């Protein structure tokens, strides 16, 4: 049985700060798209809280679908290999597609997704990410809507996990081990 190190969580963004930021992002998105339908393409599993809150604020002009990728395994750093575990279910040709990401750090997953989705000929293809780690970026990939820029720390909560733990916290925290 593995030994578990003591873990300390340092709150980075409260539930209230996250809610205010989601409101702000929804306003920017609505301003850019007007009444046009937008497909919110959530990247599982981490984006589900963010996508749910964002979708409610954007109301009935959205369609929701999901993709699931993996590049972390159960560790704290990306393996650099992106696997598609679940592809989207709907046709995105000539549609406005907004990839909904919990966090963009190295940019590897997002670069791969943009390439994969672009060949499906969406009308527009943009990204909204609640969190961005510019210091960790290895791939230059565009993120049109960014909630918060954060330091190059491992964070959990509001959909983000560590070995499937801490995902349901209502806030985002830096995870400290030891």
Strands 83-86 and 62-70: antiparallel
User: What are phi and psi for residue 161, nearest 5 degrees?
Assistant: -130, 170
Q: Is 105 a catalytic residue?
A: yes
Kindly report the number of other CB atoms within 10 A of residue 88's CB atom. 18
Peptide bond into 45 cis (omega under 30): yes
Q: How far apart are CA 133 and CA 129, in angstroms?
A: 10
Q: How far apart are CA 72 and CA 8, in angstroms?
A: 21
DSSP state of 5: P
Q: Which of 53, 102, 105, 161 is catalytic?
A: 105
DSSP state of 135: G
Residue 72 and residue 79 in contact, taking contact as beta carbons nearer than 8 Å: yes
Q: Six-digit token pair at 138? A: 């290895």
Catalytic residues: 105
């Amino acid at each position: 049985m593995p030994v578990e190190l003591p873990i300390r969580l340092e709150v980075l963004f409260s539930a209230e700060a996250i809610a205010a930021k989601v409101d702000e992002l929804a306003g920017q998105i609505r301003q850019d798209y007007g009444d046009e339908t937008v497909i919110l393409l959530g990247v599982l599993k981490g984006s589900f809280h963010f996508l749910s809150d964002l979708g409610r604020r954007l109301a009935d002009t959205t369609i929701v679908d999901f993709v699931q990728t993996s590049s972390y395994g159960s560790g704290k750093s990306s393996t650099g290999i992106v696997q598609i575990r679940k592809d989207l279910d709907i046709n995105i040709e000539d549609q406005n597609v907004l990839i909904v990401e919990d966090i963009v750090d190295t940019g590897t997953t997002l670069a791969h997704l943009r390439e994969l989705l672009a060949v499906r000929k969406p009308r527009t293809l943009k990204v909204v990410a609640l969190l961005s780690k510019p210091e960790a970026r290895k791939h230059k990939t565009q993120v049109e809507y960014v909630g918060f820029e954060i330091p190059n720390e491992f964070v959990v909560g509001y959909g983000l996990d560590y070995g499937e733990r801490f995902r349901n916290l209502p806030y985002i925290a830096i995870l400290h081990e030891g």
